[in-house]
Each structure stands twice: as structure tokens, then as C-alpha cells.
Structure 1
Amino acid sequence: MDLSDVSLVGSATPDPLRFAFSRKKMAHAGGNVNRIAPENTQQELKDVLNSIPLAQQSRCLYIHIPFCRVRCTYCNFFQYASSKSLIDSYFEALMKEIRFKASQPWTQSTSFRAVYVGGGTPTDISAAQIKQLGDAIRAYFPLTPDCEITLEGRINRFSDEKFESALEGGFNRFSFGIQSFDTHVRRSAKRLDDGDVAMKRIQEMVAYDAAPIVIDLLFGLPYQTVEIWQKDLEGYLESGAHGVDLYQLIDMQGLPMHRMVEQGKLPHPADTPTKAGMFETGVNFMAKHHQRRLSVNHWAHDNRERSIYNSLAKTTADVLPLGAGAGGAIGDLQMMQHRKMEDYIAAIDAEQYPVPMLMRSSPLREIHAHIKSAFDRGVLSRLKLNTLAGKPLYEALMPLFEAWQSNGLVRLEGDYLVLTLAGEFWNVTLSQNVIRAMMESQHPSGKAHVA
């Protein structure tokens, strides 16, 4: 590894929180993957799903609902505008896929610890469909007694009827993308309700006292000043929500927000140093108000919020995907399902796996996943890393860790590498750089590609 490379070790600066790296990296898989020939995809999936694994490991279920009434300006996940006829056709195909995959030996061989229904906007489906989906999950899949079943969505048009239908269907956790309680910030991002409406709706659902209600807050949005961000944090406490994720706006070219900025319709979002300061404000706020930290970006108000799916999905847990655009992994197979609606429905009608892209992950997949999960928690254990690697990998990486410590990104505490506040902000960059250093150590050219 080249310890003179600032993209690897960061800059030596008095303010590593804001200036250690030029920009924050997006999370990605890490490690080389081999694409399986399309003509072999169906047989590969049939083989794995019709077998019972010798060694069972934690598993989750991910169900994708790819509809939104409006595309938010910062969103990279928009697929289809909500329409009743299209949703109905899709939901019928989704129920077929649920029955098809649930009937297979692999699926029935052990229980699922967490289920996540994401999107898109899952709450755009009808109250009857929400209940039907929840009933199907519980009827067809083996679930642990304490299985966390999350419904993601937005508060817009999520009526009491829909909420109660979800509870009747067995959903026991709800996650809402509030992003900001400030009306101007929300409207500029194409959120559909004013801030006071969002606040009132969250409080109403919390008052049911029936399931944990978790919200996302996004920092760095256009018009979102540091003062507004402080009020957003205070809004979390006022809402009574059981947990909160604090995410920073990641710049991605080609999204509506960038076009609107270029056209002068929106001011520039916050730059990286400003977002770093907002992250610091958020961390300090949560500590001041004694919120329990579950990861570098997620806090719980009480023990009701567990965030099981989000924790497991960052490990080597199996994730069985269902629905158009859903991604998942079973053993060393990684897959992405058809995003195009007609291709997805055609595959389901033909009783085929709706997977156009199947990949076999690197033999180092488990180590890479452990590194990303550890950095997401903020602590890397020497013993756990070396045990997984089967060799003293922690010691081999020590020059990189010492350089990070010198640059204020980590602390070396006995057998543990602990992220500082700056390291927590740059945690994705650091975890990807560990994987990069591992890969480069195996390639004398130093040009290993981290996929």
C-alpha cells in the first residue's frame, strides 16, 4: 500500500472531519465479482433454491415496491409513477413470486430474522394490499418469533386505514423518509406535505403505541441552513419517533436536483465541509439527549427500535429478493431482479426467476462484509478480523491504521480500531480503503479494482 497516497490515508489536516478527503464515497460491494453467463442464470438459481444449505446463517427477506407518486429531487431509486392499474398488475405478479419462492426447499429450511418492504413507496399500495402482503409474508415464509417486519414509505396519504391494515397484517416496524420538518426545504425537494403535517402524522402513529416508528432525516439539502438542521433534530424529539437515521445528501450526477441547480431553480446544496459540520451537530445532539446509538448514522429513543434488517443487510446474511428492481444475495450468489416492469411480470408468468444479472462474489466476500459492517458500527476488532481472514490481517493493515490515527481518523485502543468523529463521517471511505489496500496487496501492480 502507498502511504503517500492521500486518497488512501487522507490528508494531514487540523480538521480531518471536514477536510480528510476531497469527497465522500458511495458504498459499494467491494471485491471482485464474476458475472455468471445469462444462459446459466436460471439453473444456478434453481440449484441453490432447491437445496438445503449444510451451514445455516442469518437471513432476511427484501420486497421491493417500485412506485412513487412524485420523484424527490435527490432520489436515485425512482422507477414508476403510481397508478392503480399498474400497481394492481404488479401486485398480482409479486404475490405469484412470493408463493413461488416460498415453496422452495432453501426458503423453508430455516427462519428469516427480518423482512423489509422498501421502494419506491410501499405505502402507495392500497390498505387491502398492505394487509394482504403482510398476511402472505407470515403465511408463506418461516419467520423467527421476534422477526422484524418493516414497512417503508412516506406519510403522504398513509391514512389510519392503511396503518391499521398494516398492523393487522403483522407489520411491526415503520420507517418514514421525513428528510426535513422545514416546509420550504421539503417543498424544494418535492416532498408532498408541509412540515407541520409531517410532524402531526408521525405523532399520531406514535400515539397508537403499536409498533416502533422510525424516521430518516437528510442533511445538506438546498435551503437547509445549519439553523434549520438544528430544528430538524429537535423535531425528531418532538415527534416522539422511536428511532432516527441521519443521512447526508450524496452528490450524484443526472438527478433532478442537479439539473435544477444548473438551471438556477435551486441553490447549491451544502458542500462537504458544511455537511461534516452538520453531522457533528447531529452526533452531539443525540449524545446530549441520551439517544442510544446503533450505528454511526442511526439512533434509537428506546429499546423498542432494533434495526435488525439494516444491521444484518450489511453483513453476509442471505437476503432473498422479491419484486422488480430488488437486489439480494444467497450464499456467494449476488443478484439484481428485472427493473423493467414488463420483463419482471413476463418472467413471473413463465415461472422463471426474474434475474437478468447474477454474479458470484469474491472468496473474500465475508471479510469485506465484516469490514463494512464493523466500520458502520464504528469499531473494528483485531480478533474477529484475524479469525475471519485466517491470518494476522489486522497486523498487516497496521501501517494504514497508524497513518489514519496520525491523521485523526481513528484511535488504536488495544485490540480495537475505533473511529473518531471524523472517522465516523468518513466511515464508508475508510472501509472501502481497507478493502482497496487488501486488494492491492495481492496485486503487485497496485492497480486492483474494487468493484
Structure 2
Amino acid sequence: MSDLVPQSIPLSLYIHMPWCVRKCPYCDFNSHTVPGGQQLSLELEKEYLHALVEDFKTQINFAQDREITSVFIGGGTPSLISAEGYQWLFAQLKQHLNFSNNCEITLEANPGTLEHEPFEAYLKAGINRLSIGVQTFNTAHLTKLGRIHSADNAVNAIQQAKKAGFKRVNVDLMHGLPEQTLEQALYDLKMAVDHGATHISWYQLTIEPNTVFFRTQPILPSENILSDIQEEGEKYLIESGFTNYEVSAWRKEKPSLHNLNYWQFGDYLAIGAGAHGKVTQEDGVYRFQKTRLPKDYLEKTPAPMINFEKVVSDDLPFEFMMNALRLKEGVPADYYKQRTGLELTTANDSLQQLYNQGLLSKESERIVCTDRGYRFLNAVLEEFL
């Protein structure tokens, strides 16, 4: 592997907030029920925020003189944390690393917990993009999914976000829900569009191990209905002025800078219980994670880093392509060497096979799937294993 230049690779920050009011039956994310009730206590909030800052300090050397270009606060339910808490947190973090002038800061928000703070307060705290976890505008489906909000809550959340001054509002929607019809799935998209979503993350429900749905399998739509939902949903979004720039991401405005950095194999620091990070050093690409349980994360400050491991050269082609080829327009070809340290010729056999099958474009300046390759992305990625 040739020497890498970390300074040439964008750097983001992921912050994990691990608590939810209630764990959803389909969720396999690192989320835990709020101790003792509906709201996070001020004492626990302060303790966790201080632990995040100490965690951040241990990762400063990974920055290699780079500034933070984007921040994503995920969970769990990050809107359980007060706006004042975020204002304090950002002030502390900026004492240790520079944030770019146009840094994108996204907060995941659950419509069922938005009464914690008005949106204006989060905007004043420095958050400039919201991702609202609606999932569906059908109250019966929300109940089956174990969500704590109603369809009216979801609509109100989007409207209040826009009224507060948020110009960038993503709405998370799932399709292929238990017993969902084509008409119901299209209604969900229409509601998001009509109420002003500027970005929609639209993805099919999958049943993951270690979830309630895995143990008690719900009745899901047939393959024919799922296919119709995908086809008609994509058609509707295009007609509504949205662009599909990643497998499940649709935009009317600029793309999510933070997610683009993931897909383009950029670097990201990671703080919080269960957070996963990726950093490039001159000798290679490394991945790491933090301990999952909040009580373990808080037990020792700063929380220790676990599984800090170098990605072996043989795995890098797949890891890079697994991210890059999710993008409809792919990535510049020179990103491969810049972000893996490997010459693109090391993947020649796989690339040539995909060119011959018409699954990968022969465009020399970019690594990008053909339309057919994008439809059969899993088959494309298998060539790099």
C-alpha cells in the first residue's frame, strides 16, 4: 500500500445519543429506553455531554490538522437532549478542532419528543439541518411499528420545522410495512412532499436479527406489491422534482454532505455509546467503535476505544465500492487511490468483468454503475469480495 495523505480526505463527526422513550420492534440500532420515564434527566444529560467532550479529546490527533466539515447527531432520539445542551457541547468541541464555516450539522428528531424544545432553539444552538423520523403518516402503521407519535404529530413536526426557519428538512420514510398497500405507500410520499420535505430518505423495511419483529414475524406485502411500490414511488418522486442520488436518498436541494462523505469513503470521528468511526493514517485505513451500553460508556471517562483495527488491503476494494457505488453518479476514479492507498489497477479483474457484463460504466474519469448495474447493485459488489 502506498502512503496515504489524510489531509486530502474530508473529515466529519458522528455523535450518538443512545436513548429513546421506547424501543421500536423493528429497530436494531444501539438505542436504550430512557431511565426512569419519558424525559432524560438534566443530571444524566450533563453527565453524558461531558463524557462526549472527553471522548472527543482522545480523537483530536486523528484529525491531522483537518477541520470538521459536517456533523450528524444520531440515535436513539437525539431530540431528547436539550438545545441548551447542544449549544454547550458545540462550544466545547470547537475549542479543540475547527469546524468549517459552512459546516452541516444534522439532528435526528422524533416527532413524538419534539415538545422537549421548540425548533427555534435547536436552530439557535447551531443545528442547520433536521432529519425527522416519520416512517409513515398512517397512524395504524405507526402503532404496528411501535412509534410513539401519530400522523398529526408527524405533519406538525415538518410544519413547525419549516416555520422555525429550517431550510433543510429530511423526512425518513419506510415502505413495505406490515400489510401496507401500494396506495398507502404512495400516500406517505405525497404527505412528505406536500408538507415541504426538501430531502426524503425512503427505504424498505427489513427484518433484522435481535429485534422483536425477527422473533414475531409480521405479515409483509408480497413481492409483487413491493415491486409496484418501488416503481410507482420512484416515478412519483421524480415527477415531484426529486432526484435520486443514492439508493434510498432523494433530494430537492443539495445532498446530505455528511452522508456523501460516508459514501465517498471519507473519514469520520465518532463519539458516544456504540458510535463507529473511520480514520485514515499514513499507513492505512482504520475503523473503531465505542462501547455500546450507556452505563459502560459513562463508567469510565473518557470511554475507551474498542476494536481499533486496520482495514486489511484485501478488504479495501469491497469496502470502498460498497459505499461509492451506492451513489447514482459514482465517485471520481482518483478517489480510489486517494482514499485506500491502492492503485485502481489492483481491482482490474473485477472491473473488467463488470465492464463486460454492462454493469459498470467504462467512463474513465469516474467509477459508476450503469443503470442496469445500479438495479443489480448487490451482484456488482459481489465481484469485489
| Common topology (TM > 0.5) | yes
Q: Displacement of 1:386 after TM fit? A: 7.8
Taking a change above 3 Å as real, the CA distance of residues 197 and 389 of structure 1, as seen in their structure-2 partners, is same
> Does the aligned pair in 1 maintain the 2:16–2:75 contact within 8 Å?
yes
1:227 counterpart (183, 192, 202)? 183
Aligned residue type for 2:270: P
| Equivalent residue number for residue 62 of structure 1 | 14
| Equivalent residue number for residue 130 of structure 2 | 174
| Equivalent residue number for residue 271 of structure 2 | 322
Measured in 1, the distance between the counterparts of 2:297 and 2:189 equals 40
Query: How many residues align structurally?
Result: 367
Q: Displacement of 1:273 after TM fit? A: 4.8
Q: Which moved more, 1:282-291 or 1:165-174?
A: 282-291
In the alignment, structure 1 residue 293 sits paired with structure 2 residue 231: no
> Does the aligned pair in 2 maintain the 1:247–1:297 contact within 8 Å?
yes
| Equivalent residue number for residue 27 of structure 2 | 75
Q: Which structure is larger by alpha-carbon Rg, 1 or 2?
A: 1
SS of alignment partner, residue 159 of structure 1: helix
SS of alignment partner, residue 336 of structure 1: strand
| Equivalent residue number for residue 347 of structure 2 | 393
Measured in 2, the distance between the counterparts of 1:338 and 1:180 equals 32
Measured in 2, the distance between the counterparts of 1:326 and 1:54 equals 21
Uncovered stretches (5+) of structure 2, i.e. residues with no partner: none
Measured in 1, the distance between the counterparts of 2:233 and 2:42 equals 38
Alignment of 1:305-384 (within 5 A): 305-331=254-280, 332-348=285-301, 351=302, 353-364=303-314, 367-380=317-330, 383-384=333-334
Q: Which moved more, 1:368-377 or 1:318-327?
A: 368-377
Alignment of 1:13-412 (within 5 A): 55-83=7-35, 84=39, 88-89=43-44, 91-99=46-54, 101-102=56-57, 104-107=60-63, 109-159=65-115, 161-261=117-217, 266=218, 268-302=219-253, 305-331=254-280, 332-348=285-301, 351=302, 353-364=303-314, 367-380=317-330, 383-384=333-334, 389-391=343-345, 393-394=347-348, 396-403=350-357, 405=358, 410=359, 412=361
> Does the aligned pair in 1 maintain the 2:245–2:327 contact within 8 Å?
yes
Q: Displacement of 1:216 after TM fit? A: 0.9
Uncovered stretches (5+) of structure 1, i.e. residues with no partner: 1-52, 437-451
Q: Displacement of 1:432 after TM fit? A: 3.1
> Does the aligned pair in 1 maintain the 2:130–2:166 contact within 8 Å?
no
| Equivalent residue number for residue 5 of structure 1 | none
Identity between Structure 1 and Structure 2 (%): 23
> Does the aligned pair in 2 maintain the 1:61–1:321 contact within 8 Å?
yes
Q: State the superposition RMSD in angstroms.
A: 2.8
Higher relative contact order (CA 8 A, sep 6+): 1
> Does the aligned pair in 2 maintain the 1:149–1:170 contact within 8 Å?
yes
Q: Displacement of 1:431 after TM fit? A: 4.7
> Does the aligned pair in 2 maintain the 1:130–1:165 contact within 8 Å?
no
Measured in 2, the distance between the counterparts of 1:259 and 1:225 equals 24
Measured in 1, the distance between the counterparts of 2:94 and 2:350 equals 46
Cα displacement string for residues 36-73 of structure 1 (whole angstroms, at most 9, x for unaligned residues): xxxxxxxxxxxxxxxxx764421110110000111122
Cα displacement string for residues 147-190 of structure 1 (whole angstroms, at most 9, x for unaligned residues): 10111121112138342221111011110111111111111101
Aligned residue type for 2:325: F
> Does the aligned pair in 2 maintain the 1:134–1:166 contact within 8 Å?
no
Measured in 2, the distance between the counterparts of 1:224 and 1:258 equals 18
Q: Displacement of 1:312 after TM fit? A: 0.5
TM-score normalised by the chain length of structure 1: 0.73
| Equivalent residue number for residue 28 of structure 1 | none
Aligned residue type for 2:73: V
> Does the aligned pair in 2 maintain the 1:66–1:79 contact within 8 Å?
yes
Measured in 2, the distance between the counterparts of 1:94 and 1:239 equals 33
Aligned residue type for 1:309: H
Taking a change above 3 Å as real, the CA distance of residues 274 and 254 of structure 1, as seen in their structure-2 partners, is farther
> Does the aligned pair in 2 maintain the 1:134–1:171 contact within 8 Å?
no
Cα displacement string for residues 372-401 of structure 1 (whole angstroms, at most 9, x for unaligned residues): 233211345795488653427356533344
TM-score normalised by the chain length of structure 2: 0.85
> Does the aligned pair in 1 maintain the 2:55–2:271 contact within 8 Å?
no
> Does the aligned pair in 2 maintain the 1:213–1:241 contact within 8 Å?
yes
| Equivalent residue number for residue 43 of structure 1 | none
